[in-house]
Each structure stands twice: as structure tokens, then as C-alpha cells.
A and B are shown apart, each in its own frame.
Chain A
Amino acid sequence: MSFFFEVLIGGLLAGIMYSLVALGFVLIYKASGVFNFAQGAMIFFAALTFVGLLEADLNFWVAIGITMIAMVVLGLVTERVVLRPLVNQPQITLFMATIGLTFFIEGVTQMFWGSTPRALELGIRDQPFEWLMEKADLNVSQFDLFAAFVSAAMVTGLAIFFQKTRIGRALRAVADDHQAAMSIGIPLQQIWGIVWAVAGFVALVAGLLWGARNGVSFALTFVALKALPVLILGGFESVPGAIIGGLIIGAAEKLAEVYLGPFVGGGIESWVAYVIALVFLLFRPEGLFGEKHIDRV
């Protein structure tokens, strides 16, 4: 039985990290209605820049600071060069533009920092957490717990930010209706700047955590793909949805791999999240917390 809990907890912890990635998407989608496929590439960019700066012998916190600035610049440039010219196009066009952006950012990142995979050390090791091992005989990774804790803190912080602060309210207004928000004096450009900065920060944290877990390489970009099922379950516009969706997907994925996997040869982690999302889409397309859209004729 404890094995089951180990798997479950491992899944939930991974799930929180998925939520963190999904959060980046939700932020941008809430503010500008764009599904930013390039979030994965931004995570990669953040992680690799940070590692590159560390290798250049910079102090940990200085490296974080510089990377953060780079992320904000990246976000602002993206908004200006890619999104603004396409502002009235259908969503599909914007989505495809962000796919193009993904490739572009990958190319630039690797050109600047090189393409060899690197390790990212955050000081916490991937070892069983002693306390839980002794108390409950549960084998749970220290690192996973740390990552989950950081992710949870960020997600909670952002949820509060959106709900309780003035800027958060302004962001929600912009997400709902740009024109209306402008007409009551909300400065659109500043708001978007803030959104991209926050999304960049989220990408940075996600990049550090995932990079430490899996190593920093090209493959980091595809972590973003895992966020898609999370968003489908949780709804594209909901921060709590991203959390719950992440937990469900993380847990379901791990449990399916361990308990169903052996019957079909293993490796089902690569697709089980998508199939879950697919089944969900057929019954509740707007997700658990999303808004239902009704087409007027």
C-alpha cells in the first residue's frame, strides 16, 4: 500500500511542477487571449541563460537577476514584434505564430549558449526525504518535495495577486475586454509588460526546477507540451484550474504508468496525459473551471 502512496505522491509532486508550467500559459492567455506555445522555448531560454551565466562564474543571485531581465526583454519584444501585428487575426494564426516563435527562440538560445546538454545544480539532491522515510516508510524524493513546495508557493502567490491586488484586477479586466479596459483608463501596454514580466519569472522558476530535475537541453522545450493536457483539464483561463489540472494529470500519469504500463509494454507516459485530455474534451470542452462559450448565430 505504501508503494501506491509513493507513486501517488510522486505523481502529485510532478503534477505541481506541470501546474507551474501551465501557469505561464494561463497568465498570457488571461491577459492577451493568446495561447503562447513558445512558453516552452522561454523556459529553455531561461534555464540555459542561467546555466551559461553560472558557467561564466557569476554569482547565483546575480545570474538570476540578469536572466530575469533577459526574460522580461524577451517577453516585451515578443509582444511588440509578434503579437501586436497579428492582433486581429484568428486564434489559430496567433497560435501558429507562437510555434514559429518557439523555433526561433530555440535557435537563438542554442546559437548563443551552445547545444550541449548541461546539468543544473540547485543544491538539493534527488534523494529520499529522510523524515518521511523514517516516519512512514515512504520513498519520496527530497528534490520533488522542494520543487513542489516552490511551485505551490508561486502558484498561491499568483492566485492571491490576481484576486486581491489592484494590478491583478486590472489584468483580469484586460483579459476580458481590451477596449473596455482601455476606456476606463487601464494602461494596456503597461499591463502587458507586467504580464510578460510575471510570465517570464514563472518561466525562469520552471526552467530552474525542470532543468535541475531533467538537465538543461533542447528537450526542455517539450515540457511545455505536457502543460497542454493540464490546461484542457483546468481551463485555459483559470489559475486554480492549472493547479488542480496539474495534480490530476501528474497523478494519473504516474499511476497509469506503474499500474497499467506493464500490461501494454510500458512507456505510456508519453501519451496517457493527452488521451486523458482528449476524453475530457469530448465531455467537457471548457475544462473544470473554464468558461463555456456559446456561439451566437
Chain B
Amino acid sequence: MLYREAGQFKVSYAKDQQIFPIRQDRIALLAVAFAAFVLVPLFGNQYWLSAIFIPFLIFSLATLGLNILTGYAGQLSLGTAAFMAVGAFAAYNFILRVPGMPLLVAFILAGVCAAMVGIVFGLPSLRIKGFYLAVATLAAQFFVIWALVRVPWFSNYSSSGVITAQKMVMFGFVFDTPTKKYLLTLAIVTVLALAAKNLVRSSTGRAWMAVRDMDVAASVIGIRLIRTKLLAFAVSSFYCGVAGALFAFAYLGTVEPEAFTLDLSFRILFMVIIGGMGSILGSFLGAGFIVLLPTVLNVLVHKLNATLQSAFNWQLPPGITSNLELMVFGGLIIFFLIVEPHGLARLWQIGKEKLRLWPFPH
């Protein structure tokens, strides 16, 4: 009864093209925005902000990037973490070496650097597809990390390539508390998410999806495959680069190239799959799911241990959580690929469709 489109007529194409055409959705969105921008900073405790919300936002951004490349444009990539690394180290170097470099400009330039690296490693996509392309992106993953370690200039000649991100300062305002870092990250991610949504619903996004679905038909329509694919690599890597910069500046503080492992690339790919390929909302859902999962598992294991301890005087061996995590990740990937390849986003849509009819069954 609550969630209906009845009575909401679109009297212009402009109205039909809104991101949230259903009024209830807009209200929900306002509520979420209010919660995110106002409630969380006011009431959120420091731990949740720094350990859950900030990484959630950062990974959502990286997942958005990978989703653009793999979900919308259909180019499989296993090198996401490498592009993040480029962003992190580029931002560090820009602020370090260019006096008076504004923070946001440094982030943007970091994204651009990542985009350029993305284009270079995306060039093979012009001749190869599918998991052959995945191998090319693996080359990117290993090469970039190696380069960041071996070329001491990147880490300002520190040992083993570790860098400490500088303080984030904008117009004299220092972002040092978790709350301030959270708000800055939230603002950046919101703007970029909106940009991504705009991109995918205009001709660029359609060109990407066309190339993904049937590239011969796309080229017959006049879509330039080279430009489209490379643009996907560029935009995707830009997003991953900015995410990497935020990863270093707003989350970890100190990073080394080895933090951007193949494992991280896989994790982000999992976020894309579980959240839903080819969905902006899905990127957030997937990232949230995977960021929260270890915490949830931890709590569950604790509770289980407490019960086991009192009942049988025996506990699960320590370290079981990390193995459980692997099993749950792997199992969920398989589950989603079999049952709902379009991920949580599709489940969400189905939920909304059911909600439209509620309380009627059909």
C-alpha cells in the first residue's frame, strides 16, 4: 500500500529520466542522505566511523570503478588493487613535491594518473577478451606493485616503499578526526557516485553496455570499440585511483605497495559480483556486505564460543574466523553466481517489486 507508483504520471521525458522516478524512492533517498550526512557524524562512535563506515565508502568507490569496467563494459579486470596503489602513491607524491597543492586537486590528479596506467594496461582489450584479458590485468597487478617497490622515488626513498600519508588540509581546515575524515570521504564518494550514475544512463553508458553485450552489433551502429573500451578502463581506473588515495589518506594513514595485493583485487571483484554487476546501487550493497561480513562473523563466533564454553567447556580454535571468512566469501560467490547472477541489487529490485503489490500477493 505504501509503495505504489499509481498516481505518479510522468508528463515529460525529463521527469521520466530522473534517477529516482518513484516518489517513495526519493523520500527513502533523502532519509538515507540525512542519516549519512547528519545522524552518523552526530551519533556514530569513533570505532564504527574509522573501522566500518570509512572503509565501506572507500571500497564502494573502488567497487564502482570495477563495476564500470567489468559490470557495464564487460571487460574483466583482476588488477583493481594496482590502480588503487597508483592513486595512493600519486596523491602522496603530488602533495609532497608540489608546494601548495590543494588536497582535492591532488586526489583528482592521482585519479588521472591511475587512469593513464589503466589505459596502458587496457590496450590489450582491443585484441583479447574474457579471461585472456584477466591475465593482462594480472600483469598490471604484479608489475605496478613491483614498480612501486623497486623505484624508490615513488616512496621518497623510504625502505620497502612505505609511505605515510600527509594530513588532509583544505583551506586551513584540518581533517584529523574520524568524523571529519568520514564527512570528506562521504562527500567525495557521493559526488563521484552521482557522476557515475549520470555516465551510465547517457550514451557513454549505453555504448559500454553495447560493447559488453555484442560488440559486432555495437561497431555496426557506429560505436568506436577502441575509444569505448579505453574510456571504460580510464574512468574505472580513475575511480579506483581516487579510492586508493582515500585508502591511504583517510583510512590507513600508512601504506606500502604490498598492501595492494591480488587478494584485494579479488575482494573488490567479489563486491561487484555479490552487489550486482552493472549496478551503481549494487556497488554499495556489495561493498557494505563484504566490509561488514568479518565483523558479523566475529560476533557470531564469539557468541557461539560463549555458548559452547558454557555447555561443553570447549571453544572453537582461534583463527577459525579468518578461515570461515574465506569459506563464506567463496561459498557466497558461487551461490550468487548460480542463484542470482545480478546480485543483491537484483534481489533489492525484486523486493521492491513485491513491495509494490503488498499486501496483495500478486
- Residues of chain A whose beta carbon lies under 8 Å from any beta carbon of chain B: 35, 81-82, 85-86, 89, 91-93, 95-97, 99-108, 110-111, 115, 222, 225, 228-229, 232, 264-268, 270-271, 274-275, 277-278, 281-282, 285, 295, 297
Contacts and interface: CB of A to CB of B under 8 A. Distances in A.
Given A101-B334, A282-B128, 15 more contacts: A82-B334, A89-B337, A92-B130, A92-B131, A96-B269, A104-B330, A108-B327, A110-B323, A225-B138, A225-B262, A264-B150, A265-B151, A275-B139, A281-B135, A285-B132
A225 B319 CA distance: 26
B331 interface: yes
Interface residues of B, number: 43
23 contacts: A81-B334, A82-B334, A89-B337, A91-B131, A95-B76, A96-B269, A96-B333, A96-B337, A97-B334, A100-B329, A100-B332, A104-B327, A104-B329, A107-B327, A108-B327, A115-B323, A266-B150, A268-B146, A270-B146, A271-B142, A275-B139, A285-B132, A297-B216
Nearest to A108: B327
Contacts, number: 128
Contact of A281 (B132, B145, B270, B332): B132
Nearest to B273: A96
B132 A100 contact: no
A81 B338 CA distance: 10
Nearest to B266: A99
Interface string B268-300: 011001000000000000000000000000000
B127 interface: yes
A95 B133 CA distance: 12
Interface of B: 76, 124, 127-128, 130-132, 134-136, 138-139, 142-143, 145-146, 149-151, 216, 262, 266, 269-270, 273, 319-320, 322-334, 337-338, 341
Nearest to B320: A111
B128 A281 contact: yes
Which DSSP category, helix, strand, loop or mixed, fits chain A's interface?
Answer: helix
Given A264-B150, A274-B142, A295-B216, A101 B330 contact: yes
B124 A103 contact: no
A268 B139 CA distance: 11
B260 to A, nearest CB: 13
B330 A278 contact: no
B135 A278 contact: yes
Given A89-B341, A93-B341, A107-B327, A271 B135 contact: no
Contacts of A96: 269, 273, 333, 337
A266 B146 CA distance: 9
Contacts of A97: 333-334, 337-338
Given A96-B269, A115-B319, A232-B132, A103 B327 contact: yes
Given A107-B326, A278-B139, A267 B146 contact: yes
A60 B239 CA distance: 53
A218 B150 CA distance: 25
A100 B327 contact: no
B266 A274 contact: no
